[in-house]
Amino acid sequence: MVKSLGQVMLYVRDLDANAKFWKEQAGFQKVEKVTTPDGDYIYVVAPLVMSEVQLVLQDKSKVEMLHPELHLGTPSIMMQTDNLEHVYNYFVERGVHANPIMEYGELRFFNFSDNEGNYFAIQEV
């Protein structure tokens, strides 16, 4: 049976700029450029070097060309932190477009977008 998520594919228009966003603005510790067997490259990014789940940045235009039947929209991804205000302030100070922290019952979270306008959320745990 499935035990965990390993990687989530994100299809982006500019691999290098998007990888730079995750490293410099979002503060991800793992930003690894990986050469693919066909000579292209992808990026594997994660908030921590040893994160169980990683994001894989792939060139959207190449995937569209090779697999036009695939849905390449950004999945809804909810990340977690134990210090929501710290992460929120960290993002805002680095120019990340982040919506204000919201509360929904006991859930506290905020949404943010990457450099290509893809939205993600971070919740406090």
Nearest to 113 by CA among 43, 22, 48: 22
Would you tell me how many other CB atoms lie within 10 Å of the CB of residue 114?
Answer: 20
Tens digits of per-residue pLDDT, 15-74? 999 999 999 999 999 999 999 999 999 999 999 999 999 999 999 999 999 999 999 999
Alpha helices in the chain (DSSP H): 15-20, 60-66, 84-93
Q: Which two tokens stand for residue 70?
A: 């695939």
Please provide the average confidence, as pLDDT, over all residues in the chain.
Answer: 96
3 state SS for 20-51: HHHHHHCCCCEEEEEECCCCCEEEEEECCCCC
